[in-house]
Amino acid sequence: MIGLIEKIVTDNLNENLLFLFQPAEEGKGGATRILNTGIFDKFDISEAYSLHVNGEMKTGEIASKAGIFFANTQEIEIVFRGRSAHVAFAEKGINALTAGAEFYLKIEKEIMRKFPIRKQVICAFGKMSAGVVMNAIPAECRLEGTFRAFTDEDHEILKALIENVKAQIAKKHGVDAEIIYKAYYKEVINDEILYKKLKLKTLEIQIEFKEAEMVFTGEDFGFFTEKYNGLLFWLGVGNKDSNADLHSPKFLPDEKAIDIGVEIFSQLI
C-alpha cells in the first residue's frame, strides 16, 4: 500500500482515491466496524480493490475469478455443561466430555448427509477442551471451530443443522448446551467487469494470470463487495525456499512480489 501511494504521488496521477489501512481483519472483522462509522458515506465510491498474498503460487502470478470467490465464514464456540464427579463415583456426574465427543463425530456425518456435493460447505472444530483433573468427570466441554458456505442459503441450513445436532446431543446426555456465535464474514463476490479488467491489464503488462477457484478462505473484504463493486485477487509470493501455506510458521513471502502488486493496482486504478 505504501508503495502504491508513493507511485501515485510520483506519477502525479489525477484520480480521486481512498487508501484504507484497516485494523482487525482477523477475529474482530474490522471492515464492518469501519463501514458502520459511516466515514465512507460522504464519498461516491465506484470501485473497491484488495489483494491477498498466496505462498503456494509462484511469485508475481495473479489469480482471481468473477462472482463468488471466498466463502462466508462463521466462528463458533459450543459449550456442553454437565456435572463433575470423581471417576470412582461416575454415576453421580454428568459427563460433558462424552457429549462433546459425540457431537464432534455426529456433526460431520450429518453434514455429509445433508450436503452430498463435495466442497459445498465445511464445518470444522480445531480446538476441544474439557475437565480440570485426570480423575474427575468433566463438568464442561468446549469446542471451538468454524463453518463456511458460499451462499447465505447454505449458511442458514448449516447453522440450523448444527443447532439441531447440539440439541439432540444435549437431550440424550442430559447436559446443557450453548452455541456462542463469534466473528462472521460475508462471502467475497467479485464484480465481473472489474475481473475482466484485471485479466486485460495482466495481459497488457505481461504478468501471468490464471483462473482461480472458489475457496473456503474467509476475508472481511466481503463486506466491501457487498456494498461496492469490488475485486479481490491472489498475488503469488512463493519462492524456491518457501511455498508454505499462509498459516504455516514457515511462511516466508518473496518480497519481489511487492513491485508486481503495486504495478497491478496502478493499472487497475
Residue 259 and residue 200 in one domain: yes
60, 249 Cβ separation under 8 angstroms: no
Q: What is the pLDDT of residue 28?
A: 62
What is the pLDDT confidence band of residue 18, given thresholds at 50, 70 and 90? Answer: confident
In terms of pLDDT, which residue wins out, 27 or 55?
A: 55
From its phi and psi, is residue 125 left (phi > 0), alpha (psi between -120 and 50) or beta?
A: beta
Residue 82 and residue 170 in one domain: yes
**Number of other CB atoms surrounding residue 206 within 10 Å:** 6
Percent of the chain whose predicted confidence (pLDDT) is above 90: 65
Q: What residues make up the domain containing 155? A: 72-185
Residue 205 and residue 259 in one domain: yes
Domain boundary among 151, 170, 185: 185
Domains identified in the chain, total number: 2
* CATH number, position 246: 3.40.630.10
**95-127 pLDDT, tens per residue?**
999 999 999 999 999 999 999 877 889 999 999
Residue 196 and residue 254 in one domain: yes
7, 266 Cβ separation under 8 angstroms: yes
Residue 124 and residue 178 in one domain: yes
Residue 76 and residue 177 in one domain: yes
The candidate with the shortest Cα–Cα distance to 31, out of 233, 226, 250, is 226
Domain boundary among 164, 185, 206: 185
Residue 233 and residue 147 in one domain: no
For residue 145, how far is the Cα from the chain centroid? 12
Residue 174 and residue 78 in one domain: yes
* CATH number, position 174: 3.30.70.360
Residues 269, 267: Cα–Cα separation, whole Å: 6
Residue 150 and residue 62 in one domain: no
Residue 163 and residue 215 in one domain: no
Specify the pTM: 0.86
Where do we find the cell 472481511? 220
269, 17 Cβ separation under 8 angstroms: yes
The DSSP secondary-structure symbol of 190 reads: E
Residue 200 has pLDDT above 70, yes or no: yes
Paired strand residues for 80: 141, 177
Domain boundary among 168, 185, 202: 185
Residue 65 and residue 192 in one domain: yes
Residue 250 has pLDDT above 80, yes or no: no
63, 210 Cβ separation under 8 angstroms: yes
Residues 63, 77: Cα–Cα separation, whole Å: 33
Residue 77 and residue 178 in one domain: yes
Residues 21-39, mean pLDDT to the nearest whole number: 77
Least confident piece of the model among 88-92, 151-155, 195-199, 264-268 = 264-268
Q: What is the pLDDT of residue 103?
A: 98
